Amino acid sequence: MAVEEQSNTTSPSLTSLVLKGGAWMLAARLICRGFGVLATIILARLLSPAEFGLVAVGMLSVSLLKVFTEVGILQALIKESSENTSKFLDTAWTVEALRGTVIFLLVFYSAPWIAAFFNAMEAVGVIRALAVVPFLHGLTSIRIIYLQKELNFRKQFFYEVSASLAPVLVSIPLAFLLKNVWAIVIGTISAEIVRLIVSYCLMPYIPRIRFDFSHFLRLFRFGKWIFLGSIISYFAMELDTFYAARLLDTKTLGIYVLAFGLTNTPVIEVAKSLGKVFFPAFAKISHDPARVRSAFIKSTSVLYLLIVPISISVYMVSEDFVIVFLGEEWFEMISVMQVLALAALTRGLGVPTGSLFNGLGKPKLSFYNNLIRLIALAVFLNMVVFWLLTPVWIGVAVLAANSALLMQFIYQTVRYTNINLADWSFMILPLIAAAIIMVISVITLSYYVRPGFIRLLLILVTGACSYLTTLFVLNKFFKLGILDIYYSLLKPNLKSNFFGMQ
């Protein structure tokens, strides 16, 4: 597929910044989640599914209040022009600090009622301890937003990675000593403490409690849709976990939550790492619809090129992964992981549109999309919970809701970026063909090799080779162009680069 070139009308440094930023953020997310997965595997070996369920109840309690107090201040600061941002910092920090304090107090004192709602009274102490997390987060240096705003992703890399080390260095030793849920809780709090300290080291700021209503109102004009969208988005993404926490026991909840994390992490983190780059970059070229269209096609093509094989690989290795790394206590998680791997793929395919709409100053569209997903998820969940109340069928409901929303995403991108269905075919069909060959190759291999570590490695190697080989063959004989887009990103000196600029 050939994507037409656009005129060069902005700073030539933007392309290199975006490309380097994408690499730094992708590396940061992969390292962070790599540490997270490592810690999770070790903790799952040492702790029971029920203890993971208790932590899930605590995090749900905190995140619920966080989302109801999200007013979109940070996103609005990123959208503001650089010369105006500094005058809003004190007001923004004050709002965030007050927000964190209110959440801490509400969660701490309402912990018994929250635990009773989830039928997990043993979670009261966990809920109260985790209430410290949003309080610490609210005190973070407000100037940290400049790292994303100015595409300074090298420092952003250090900021993200430093905090991800805490659960590994703290939770794992404590798990050997304590052998209970508090190893995870203390590790989570320590990560936020590290994040707080590093934020002031990287972006020094003297906190001032100062509130200017006019400044707040200006930020809130943009942030109101972020506020409404964050509420809808939260329930759209967490409603399944709420159902599981309310209706399942803590052991089954722990199985579902861990399966969700392991399957979504590799796909969504890749998508979000690139999305963090796409948002400010789309904002910078939002005045030029033709270049936005070209950039969206290229960015989406590369994202899909990565997440399709990742999702298929997670699906195919689920059985071997649980057998090798987690043990008998987690065998029930195998089928849950397989369903949620497909759900993660359908979710990841829609990630670029959120960055696009926010970058174009249309957060309202993201709000409506999340509302559609919430309604679809509620409908599908209520269809399954009364007859088939198991983690697998909750995952099926998530997959169905994600698939419905993906259709909406395709419609909106066609409408707002002038992309036609032929463009989508050129982006998606080669990947579908490669994925089919990949699955056939892996199934054939699995038939002859017993489950275990060797088969896990062979699945990964065989899947990667068959996927890439199929794409190279299709690209060579049918000139589809999807790999050409990928090459243009690896070689920013080429005329055909990420944002249509030299």
Residues near 315 by Cβ (< 8 Å), separated by ≥ 6? 337, 338, 341, 342
- Residue 481 pLDDT grade (very low, low, confident, very high; cuts 50, 70, 90): low
pLDDT at 342: 94
Does residue 174 lie in a domain region? yes
Q: Does 304 map to a domain?
A: yes
| pLDDT confidence band for 161 (50 / 70 / 90) | confident
Average pLDDT over residues 417-440: 81
pLDDT band for position 90 (50/70/90)?
Answer: confident
* pLDDT of 422 strictly over 50: yes
What's the pLDDT tens digit per position in 56-76? 888 888 887 777 766 667 767
Q: Which of 150, 57, 151 is nearest to 111 (CA)?
A: 57
| pTM tops 0.85, yes or no | no
Average predicted confidence (pLDDT) for the chain: 80
Q: What does the alpha-carbon distance between residue 360 and residue 284 come to, in Å, rounded to a whole number?
A: 9
Query: b/e map of 277-305 (b: 16 or more CB within 10 Å)?
Result: bbbbbbbbbbebeebbbbbbbbbbbbbbb
Q: Average the pLDDT over 268-283 and give the result.
A: 73
pLDDT of residue 104: 92
Burial of 127 (0-12, 13-18, 19+ CB in 10 A): buried
Selection from 433, 445, 423 nearest residue 473 by Cα: 433
pLDDT at 21: 61
Cα-Cα end-to-end distance for the chain: 20
Domain count, the chain: 1
pLDDT at 255 over 70: yes
Assigned domain for 498 exists = no
Q: Which amino acid is at 497?
A: N
Q: How does pLDDT run across 284-317, given as a tens digit for each residue?
A: 776 777 777 777 777 777 788 888 999 999 999 9
Q: Tell me the pLDDT tens digit for each residue of 393-417.
A: 999 999 999 998 888 888 887 777 7
Phi, psi of 120 (to 5 degrees): -140, 70
pLDDT value, residue 345: 92
Q: Are 115 and 127 in contact (CB under 8 A)?
A: yes
- Judged by average pLDDT, the poorest of 10-24, 216-230, 238-252, 421-435 is 10-24
Residue 307 · residue 267 · CB < 8 Å? yes
CB burial class (10 A; 0-12, 13-18, 19+) of residue 411? exposed
Q: Of 331, 336, 338, 412, nearest to 368 (Cα)?
A: 412
Residue 386 has pLDDT above 90, yes or no: no
Buried b (16+ CB within 10 A) or exposed e, 36-46: beebbbbbbeb
- Which pLDDT band holds residue 136 (cuts at 50, 70, 90)? very high
Please tell me the distance from the alpha carbon of residue 168 to that of residue 10, in angstroms, as a whole number. 43
Categorize the per-residue pLDDT at 19 as very low, low, confident or very high, splitting at 50, 70 and 90: low
35 Cα distance to chain centroid: 16
Give the closest residue to 80 by CA, choosing from 91, 94, 96, 67: 91
Asked whether residue 496 is assigned to any structural domain, the reply reads no
Q: So what's the pLDDT on residue 124?
A: 92
492 pLDDT above the threshold of 70: no
CA-only gyration radius of the chain, Å:
23
d(CA 356, CA 289) in angstroms, rounded, equals 11
Whether the pLDDT of residue 497 is over 50: the answer is no
pLDDT value at 274 more than 80: no
In angstroms, what CA-CA distances link 23 with 353, 436, 464, 493? 20, 28, 21, 16
Within-domain flag for 5? no
The answer to whether position 186 is within a domain reads yes
Q: 169 is written with which tokens?
A: 């260095």
Asked whether the predicted pLDDT for residue 105 surpasses 80, the reply is yes
pLDDT of 129 over the 70 cut: yes
Query: Distance between CA atoms of 34 and 103, rounded to whole angstroms?
Result: 30
DSSP 8-state code for residue 1: -
Please report where in the chains the tokens 């992708």 appear, as a residue.
Answer: 26
Distance CA(319)–CA(327), nearest Å, equals: 11
Q: Does residue 173 have a pLDDT over 80?
A: yes
pLDDT of residue 48: 87
Residues 323-354: tens digit of each pLDDT: 999 888 899 999 999 999 999 999 988 888 77
pLDDT band at 452, cuts 50/70/90? confident
Element (H, E) at 283: helix 250-284
Domain with 367, as residue range(s), is 13-490
At residue 361 the predicted structure's pLDDT band, cuts being 50, 70 and 90, is confident
Would residue 55 count as lying in a domain?
A: yes
Let me know how long the chain is.
502
Question: Is 350:405 a contact under the CB 8 Å cutoff?
Answer: yes
- Residue 143 is classified by DSSP as G
DSSP 8-state code for residue 26? H
Whether residue 9 is predicted with pLDDT greater than 50 in this model: the reply is: no
| 266 token code pair | 């590799």
Q: What is the mean pLDDT of residues 172-201?
A: 89
Q: Is residue 301 part of a domain?
A: yes
